[in-house]
Amino acid sequence: MALQPVLTSLFAGMFARCAFIALAQMLNPYGLAIALETAKKAAAPALAEARKNNWTMAVAIVDTAGHLVYFEKMDATQTGSVAVAIDKARSAALFKRPTKAFQDTLAAGGEGLRVLRLEGAVPVEGGIPLVMEGQFVGAIGVSGGTSQQDGQCAKAGADAVK
């Protein structure tokens, strides 16, 4: 008879531990890293938006750690946009926020100038985190036009994989 309260207590403790682990995993915003086929599905509408507006763009898709998964550059895109698109995607992935947030912070001046000291933070619109089913899976970066044009194309890509 004395064993039953001990077993009940042990079982309750194990149940609480499992419930805590499950809750912690549910609160984790990271999902599996974006797959190649999904990355292509994000890049396609971004490039379509650029073509529709007669812009030439480079598009980069990175995983949650900022590593390149997919890249495509339209013909006649300026070569400098290659590195910029990758950097925008990496910045959005590493900081889990659109690069426009850094642009706006920097534009505000004052304490916002500290953004310039954040290693890897690109303060130019065009990088957007990719979220699928509520979980962060990577980011898209677009470069080739104005920052607003880059942002418009990146949004088209990000919206395609929600």
Backbone angles phi, psi at 6, to 5 degrees: -65, -45
Residue 128 pLDDT class (50, 70, 90 cuts): very high
**Topology of the domain comprising 36-159:** Beta-Lactamase (3.30.450)
Render pLDDT for 54-87 as a digit per residue (tens, 0 to 9). 999 999 999 999 999 999 999 999 999 999 999 9
Query: In the predicted model, is pLDDT for residue 26 greater than 90?
Result: no
Q: Which two tokens stand for residue 93?
A: 């992935």
Lowest mean pLDDT across 7-11, 61-65, 147-151: 7-11
Query: Structural domain boundaries of the chain?
Result: 1-28, 36-159
Lowest mean pLDDT across 8-17, 22-31, 101-110: 8-17
Q: Residue 64, class by beta-carbon neighbours within 10 Å (0-12 exposed, 13-18 middle, 19+ buried)?
A: buried
